[in-house]
Chain A
């Protein structure tokens, strides 16, 4: 159990441009932090710097009350779950789980106890003596988590652990990871590019773009008050409509804004609504419909119940507080 503090963290690979710049995050003991962002935003680099697999160019990482910049990964008291699981293919599941404990000279009886305990938590007791290649993707995923929890580390680091699973399994494992973390109360940093995974797992989200932090906040905070057009477009599915304010001059309160944001799910059909949409395409989702169209030459999307009547032109309305206003040049939130 430990808090983790990243102060002014930067990574420079040499050859121009920083992979990570000026990152400050205070992670509380037992907190589940999700680093989310598009490919190449520096989220994995950041995680690997905490793990000790990448050197730190600037700033410092603290785990508990120790600065760990110069400390080997093995001595940072962390455990990591890799995207490809990184299970040792020539060892049985039991040996995979025990390897980290064996290297640290844990007594045999204690290893046995912890391995069995982890196996029970993760329901992998039945294949402790199999080799990883004889396991399914979901089972391998569990073993990888087991290897992390037997160590009883100060923190778990997850590097896109679910991205190799099929969609259905991903949802199941997502829930399991969440429940496991709730139960063990171990500080966790989780990297993903999937905003849905990020929303559902995180106590707090860290949205990264181009090696910098765009916003830190609880999933609801980030959803309700995105700090920039980047976050607004990245968090939430379907993505928020971001419209050039000049295309919709008649909307209230948009006088000083450069970009107006409104979530598709906040738009409703109203005969006297301020937005007129020309419908271009319709996607059926079952319970809902995604309707894509144009207003004042800008693209706009709305989700409507599938029983709502469809016409070529629709008028849409929204509530004033559902409008997000952003500055033109910087893309930062105005209010």
Chain B
């Protein structure tokens, strides 16, 4: 790498200043505010603020609503991850086997990634709308009454599909690149070694894809937990009966709708810890443990 020596001590800091300012204003300062707020409580009219120590955290961990949200988030994140990675792998394997139209399919499959989460949410909200949606209409034909407005399990299905759909594109690209990085001769050698297509897939392809898979696993969990706010907000708004109220949505709802800043801040701090943990896992293990 090229090394530049600055004689002026100020210049490097000046050059870094814009980036540092952005990081400070949009990341460090709000994070610090959240941490500070999480130890405070305001009265109902916002006139008095008192220091309450870890009371906010204690209440959260004893609140059945928060524990429910944790559980909902876990179900949601795992479902989104499995669905989007599974389908993406299926599509990537199919496209990897194609010879002619590979580029066309790849391009088409990547399109959903360009759709904003809120738009994706609206899109699926229309498709699944109990009154005007096409899928409830088709389900009604076979005698199933779809109503995600009243049924938490159906609401969860809806947000999982809407969130996973967008992420399939991203996962697909990584899986396809991963598949194409596996030398054809390995699969040929396995074919000569008497492994059929299914066995080759599980014995050769899956293990050699493991670095990609692990990377995507972390990325998808982070996506499902933090980037799906808009999808939830445009479809179910956390309902019905808290059925899709994931942690991120609850932070927003309790803080900005419920105006309980202290609790909302404490929830943010928990989320921060989760992100830090996931990031550490990613950096620590991605190149060591999962490499073959």
Contacts and interface: CB of A to CB of B under 8 A. Distances in A.
Interface stretch (A77-85, A122-130, A279-287): A77-85
Contacts of B208: 89-90
A84 B292 contact: no
B15 interface: no
Contacts of A72: 191
A103 B195 contact: yes
Given A86-B185, A86-B186, A73 B207 contact: no
Interface in A99-139: 99-100, 103-104, 131
A196 interface: no
B204 A74 contact: no
Nearest to B204: A88
A15 B156 CA distance: 52
A53 interface: yes
B191 A53 contact: yes
B46 interface: no
Give the secondary structure class of A's interface.
Answer: loop
Nearest to A53: B188
Nearest to A78: B192
A82 B189 contact: yes
B64 interface: no
Contact of B193 (A83, A84, A89, A103): A103
A243 to B, nearest CB: 43
Given A88-B204, A89-B208, A89-B292, A100 B194 contact: yes
Given A89-B208, A89-B292, A103 B194 contact: yes
Interface residues of B, number: 19
Contact of A74 (B194, B203, B292): B194
Given A84-B185, A89-B208, A89-B292, A99 B193 contact: yes
A235 interface: no
B72 interface: no
Contacts of B185: 82-84, 86
B278 interface: no
Interface string A308-331: 000000000000000000000000
A88 B204 CA distance: 7
Contacts of B143: none
A99 B190 contact: yes
Contacts of A2: none
B103 interface: no
Interface in B254-292: 292
A82 B195 contact: no
Nearest to A159: B185
B183 interface: yes
A267 interface: no
A20 interface: no
A227 B196 CA distance: 44
B199 interface: yes
Contacts of A104: 194
B195 A74 contact: yes
Interface string A200-242: 0000000000000000000000000000000000000000000
Contacts of B192: 51-53, 73-74, 78-80, 100
- Residue with the greatest number of chain A CB neighbours at <10 A, chosen from B190, B192, B210, B292: B192
A151 B195 CA distance: 14
Contacts of B195: 74, 99, 103
Contacts of A80: 188-189, 192
Contacts of B196: 74
Contact of B191 (A73, A84, A90, A131): A73
Nearest to B208: A90
- Residue with the greatest number of chain B CB neighbours at <10 A, chosen from A73, A82, A86: A86
A55 to B, nearest CB: 13
A26 B172 CA distance: 48
Interface of A: 51-53, 72-74, 78-80, 82-84, 86, 88-90, 99-100, 103-104, 131, 147, 151
17 contacts: A53-B191, A73-B191, A73-B192, A74-B191, A74-B194, A80-B189, A80-B192, A82-B185, A84-B183, A84-B185, A86-B185, A88-B189, A88-B190, A90-B208, A99-B193, A100-B192, A100-B194
Given A86-B189, A103-B199, 7 more contacts: A52-B192, A53-B192, A73-B192, A74-B191, A89-B292, A99-B195, A103-B195
